[in-house]
Amino acid sequence: MSCLHKRPKRTYSEELAFHERMGRVAEENGKFIGLEGDSDLQFLLIGGVLLKIRSNSWKKSRFFRLQEDCKTIWHESQRLFKKNQSFSVDDIDSVRMGRQSEGLNKHTHPNDEERCFSIIFKGRKRNLDLMACSNDEAKQWVNGLNKIINNLRNLSRQQKSEHWIINCMRKADKNADNKMTLKELKHFLRQINVECDDTYAEDIFKKCDKSNSGTLEGAEIEHFYDLLTHREEIDVIYGNYAHTEGQMSANDLLDFLLNEQREQATMNDALKLIEKHEIDETAKQKKHMTKDGFLMYLHTEDGSILNPAHKRVYQDMSQPLNHYYISSSHNTYLMEDQLRGPSSTEAYIKALMKSCRCVELDCWDGANGEPVIYHGYTLTSKVLFRDVIKAVKEYAFKTSDYPVILSLENHCSVEQQKLMAHHMVAILGDALVTKPLGNTVPASFPSPEELKGKFIIKGKRMNKLEAAFTNNNTVEEDTVSEEDEAADCTENGQKTKSKKSKMKLAKELSDLVVYCKSVHFSGFEHAKDNQAFYEMSSFKESKAFNLADTSANAFMHHNMDKLSRIYPAGSRTDSSNYNPVPMWNVGCQIVALNFQTPHKEMHINQGRFLPNGFCGYILKPEFQRSLSSQFNPNTPTEGPWGKKKVFHVMIISAQQLPKINKDKHNSIVDPLVRVEIHGVPADNASKETHYINNNGFNPMWNESFQFSIHVPELTMVRFVVEDYDATSQNDLVGQYCLPLTSIHNGYRHVPLLTKRGDVICSAGLFVHLMVLDAA
């Protein structure tokens, strides 16, 4: 990044020396991320010209280059006030080879397929669509970027932290002389989110400036780094167990695992941790763990709040589909609001890559006989149905193998319905479920395991499923009732429709609906007596919340053999969301949220589906599946669900919190931490620490909270870090949510995510947690 700062012109010899230094910096960083001498990395460091593509008429040549930190991409710009621009590799979600974005698909020729690639950013930042001069160059760009992204993601939190601090130091070294003046040190401290008075900064500086030269260099900078990153709380914890020559022996470590971490550990487990995390070879040979090795352990998956066993698929996936909560999206095609926002295949890709397993397709007649997807009766843009199905086919199973439900809101004419059916059959092929599994009429849902890699269509069907097993299935088209979300749009003054209006349905489309036939809900008793297991209803949030309040047990029993889909009210034109927890509490499976809106509700949804390999399916608790269950979340009396717990939380410290307002040089956060409990009404609670002035780098609270939990299997825990503001609403710094049942006891690091759910690389909380049986 240092090359972006204005600096006095250098002499020829100074320029040579500067480039030599930058070469060494690049070499060090390449080595640090495990790409020493890699030819693709060297290619990116040299850089090259790429064609940046925005439309048929806007195609401009721009020079791109990876900077010496091996983490920042610099590119030239013709914008008046932004001649040079850059972005971090951390901001990249993925790099796609070929014409795999809407922009490249529209604005480039198929012959250029192998020269094209796209950089997809996290959040709402616009894709970067690029074309290289040759196929080989495009491959090198994509290979090189993917190597850096993967290697950076695979670093431990401790390594990411070191990398970040060292590169912040380099940025503070304005004249790139590998020395740090007092002024540069103050600038560096502000960069890493610490505000300190001049006296404190001078004291640190004097303590480290052993040579009294007025600058820090070499070992003095290392000493400053050690002082800066020293963690007093780790000293105390380590000191309590390091009883063998000042270090932790395998026995000492086993004591720590059993007594503090409450793990069912053995001596073999302790030895494995030493082998895995200890960096001092002498200590490793003695089967000892040093303080550095202990810190490495705490910063890895083994020391994370999320139980490592829950990071993979660990639940029984052979139960009927309706026994699972299913990660579900509403208005999946929208990137923003529901009135004017753009519709895009990119929105489907983003949702599917987050393991969403039920996506919505709002289908309308389009021009040239081709059906389109958009939010009806609004100014949202349109996207071809065919293009959406292609994108879904391409990305459905990249993060999860389990089935994807395509929820159709069908407003099309019979002719365009036939084309919809044709596109799905032609594009999805054998992956599309077009008839029940097996040779007999099914009596219950197949399991996620049986449906791996399959697409299920949810929509209207003319007749019962039994017709698929007889020859008496000759109707070409028929009318069905059209109760759906479009009928609910009276709330926001849009065009109204009768809820009992009829529509014609094409046989070709009807026949594709197998396990998810949409029917009108006429009450739980009616459903019990008249609906087959595969006949499911969709509930607007107000209706669903009312039923959950007044008929919770009946709602839960309804969901024991049928599916229920809940969707946000039409009045939520800003694409906001309802709280999904009360819907899960009564066993609803398809609790559909606006994935494009990154607020608290989506954080809870992300937390709910975080365990079980982030596969998009979570097995409901046994008491939500057992027909004899009398569970009512509103009044959880004694029963198998009432395994009461006491949840003890100590918020100890945080590390390397990001700045909220990066544009303001002196903007330092005043962090506080809130712990939220979301579950049955009796369990909902929230407690927060005091705030700490001007320290986002290493704030320490040491505050303890206690929560009584009545129904642990339905409890979500959310950690929220905010920047305190006395005059306005606090800003979110980071958050993390997970089920209580997936929490690892003991001293744990909590990763922090952005508002949009992306990992903040080096930031985290350090906590002590204990979930104990209530007395």
Return the H-helix or E-strand segment holding 131: strand 128-131
Model confidence at 144: pLDDT above 90: yes
- 496 pLDDT exceeds 50? no
Whether residue 197 is predicted with pLDDT greater than 80 in this model: the reply is no
Catalytically active residues, by annotation: 330, 375
More confident residue, 18 or 539: 539
Tell me which architecture the domain covering 321-624 has in CATH. Answer: Alpha-Beta Barrel (3.20)
CB 62, CB 76: distance < 8 Å: yes
| Coil/strand/helix, residue 540 | strand
Would you state the pLDDT for residue 538?
A: 96
Collapsing DSSP to helix, strand or coil, 319 comes out as coil
Give the 3-state secondary structure of 658-716: CCCCCCCCCCCCCEEEEEEEECCHHHCEEEECCCCCCECCCCEEEEEEEEEECCHHHCE
Instruction: For residue 686, list its beta bridge partners.
Output: 676
pLDDT of 739: 98
Instruction: Tell me which of 80-84, 336-340, 540-544 is least confident.
Output: 80-84
In this predicted structure, the answer to whether residue 253 has a pLDDT above a threshold of 90 is yes
Q: Could you tell me if 1 and 86 are in contact, meaning their C-beta atoms sit under 8 angstroms apart?
A: yes
The pLDDT assigned to 574 comes to: 87
Q: What is the pTM of this model?
A: 0.89
Give the percent of the chain with pLDDT over 90.
Answer: 68
Position 493 pLDDT exceeds 50: no
Max CA separation in the chain (angstroms): 96
Q: Where in 230-335 does DSSP place strands (E)?
A: 248-249, 288-289, 324-329
pLDDT at 50: 96
CA distances from 184 to 173, 192, 445 (A): 6, 12, 65
Is residue 617 over pLDDT 50?
Answer: yes
The Cα 611–Cα 613 span in angstroms is: 5
Q: Tell which CATH classification among 3.40.50.150, 3.40.50.920, 2.30.29.30, 3.10.20.740 matches the domain 2-154.
A: 2.30.29.30
CA distance 206 to 493: 68
Per-residue pLDDT, 174: 74
Return the higher-pLDDT residue of 198 and 36.
Answer: 36
Token pair recorded at residue 232: 């007093």
505 pLDDT band (50/70/90 cuts)? very high
Taking residue 283's Cβ as centre, other Cβ atoms within 10 Å add up to 19
68 Cβ contact list (under 8 Å, min separation 6): 2, 22, 23, 25, 26, 29, 45
Residue 513: name the closest of 587, 453, 424 by CA.
424
| Nearest of 417, 408, 421, 418 to residue 332 by alpha carbon | 408
Q: Which amino acid is at 98?
A: G
The share of the chain scoring above pLDDT 70, in percent, equals 92
- Give the architecture-level CATH label for domain 645-773: Sandwich (2.60)
Per-residue pLDDT, 7: 44
What does the pLDDT average to over 205-221?
89
CB 482 within 8 A of CB 497: yes
For residue 199, what pLDDT is reported? 82
Over the stretch 41-62, which tens digit does the pLDDT of each residue have? 999 999 999 999 999 999 999 9
User: Could you give the residue ranges of the DSSP H alpha helices within 278-371?
Assistant: 281-285, 291-298, 345-353
Range 518-540 average pLDDT: 95
Query: Residue 261: helix, strand or coil by DSSP?
Result: coil
The span from the CA of 584 to the CA of 604, in Å, is 11
DSSP assignment, residue 223? Answer: H
Q: Residues comprising the binding site?
A: 331, 360, 362, 409, 458, 460, 538, 565, 668, 670, 694, 723-725
Q: How many CB atoms lie within 10 A of CB 278?
A: 24
- Residue in 417, 399, 490, 413 with CA at minimum distance from that of residue 457: 417
Cβ contact 332:360 at 8 Å: yes
Residue 2 confidence (pLDDT) above 60: no
Q: Do domains 158-229 and 232-303 have the same CATH topology?
A: yes
Which residues, 6 or more positions from 402, have their beta carbon under 8 angstroms from its beta carbon?
317, 357, 448, 451, 452, 615, 616, 617
Q: Which residues of 201-247 form beta strands (DSSP E)?
A: 216-217
pLDDT for the residue numbered 478: 66
Binding residues for substrate: 458, 460, 538, 565
SS3 104: helix
Superfamily of domain 232-303: EF-hand (1.10.238.10)
Q: Which of 79-88, 158-167, 249-258, 421-430 has the lowest mean pLDDT?
A: 79-88
pLDDT confidence tier of residue 81, bands split at 50, 70 and 90: low
The pLDDT tens digits of the residues spanning 554-592 come to 999 999 999 999 999 988 888 899 999 999 999 999 999
CA neighbor of 42 nearest in space, from 173, 140, 113: 140
The pLDDT of residue 5 is above 50: no
Q: Which amino acids are annotated as binding site for Ca(2+), given as ranges?
A: 331, 360, 362, 409, 668, 670, 694, 723-725
* Domain range 158-229, its CATH number among 3.40.720.10, 1.10.238.10, 2.170.190.11, 1.10.10.10: 1.10.238.10
Tokens of 592: 């559909």
Mean pLDDT across the chain, nearest whole number? 90
The CA–CA distances, whole Å, from 522 to 483, 529, 536, 539, 553 equal 12, 11, 11, 11, 17
For residue 4, the model assigns a pLDDT of 38
> Is 672:688 a contact under the CB 8 Å cutoff?
yes
Domain ranges of the chain: 2-154, 158-229, 232-303, 321-624, 645-773
What's residue 487's pLDDT?
47
Query: At residue 481, does pLDDT exceed 70?
Result: no
